Every structure is written in C-alpha cells, then in structure tokens.
Amino acid sequence: MKTATDRMYRLTTAGTLALQAKRSVPGWYRTILAMIPGETPASAICATLGAHSSKQVMAWLEQLETLGFLALVDRAGAPAEQASADFGFDVVLAHQQAA
C-alpha cells in the first residue's frame, strides 16, 4: 500500500510562475516549489524540510496542489489529473506580474 510520502509531484505552469513571482506569492510557497526541479517524490521534500513533521509538509504539498501549483504524477510519469484550473492561475499570475 502506497503512503502519502510515496507521491510524486511536478510543477505546473502556474507553479513555475508562482516560483518566479516575488511579491504576489508567499515566500514559503516559493521555498517548497524550488525543491521540485522535475518529478520529485514527496519523501524527498519531507526529508529536505526535516525540521517540520512529514504530516505538516504533506499538508503544505496538498495545499499547493489544491492551488494548482503542483500536480501529482502517476507511475507512468504522466500527470495523474489534468489541471484544468491551471489556465486560471496562469492568467491571474501573469496579470499580477504585469502590475
């Protein structure tokens, strides 16, 4: 049985824009997003953030996933779900960056 820390994440387009945003995205978002250069296991992120409990780190990852900044990757390497909301975040972030 797979555990939550066995999940693989990748940045979405919105996540990449959030990583680049300086003023409109909290620093802790960018800190976690910067740890995901490609397909990255949640266990590696939890290990890197060892000062925090795995439960807390997983809650943060789930929040970033809900915001559309991260996508789960299935075993075949394809996104587990198509991020249909990804476009909405792209538009918002592009607008905020232009301001």
CA dihedral 59, 38, 32, 70 (to 10 degrees): -50
Q: What is the pLDDT of residue 5?
A: 64
- Domains held by the chain: number: 1
Q: What is the pLDDT of residue 21?
A: 84
Could you report the per-residue pLDDT of 38-68, keeping only the tens digit for each? 899 999 999 998 899 999 999 999 999 999 9
Max intra-chain CA distance, the chain: 47
Q: What is the pLDDT of residue 99?
A: 47
Q: Provide the 10 A C-beta neighbour count for residue 72.
A: 16
Domain, as residue range, for 18 = 4-98
Average pLDDT over residues 10-28: 88
Q: Considering the chain, what is the average pLDDT of its residues?
A: 78
| pTM of the predicted model as reported, rounded to 2 decimal places | 0.70
Burial class (CB within 10 angstroms; exposed 0-12, middle 13-18, buried 19+) of 37 = exposed
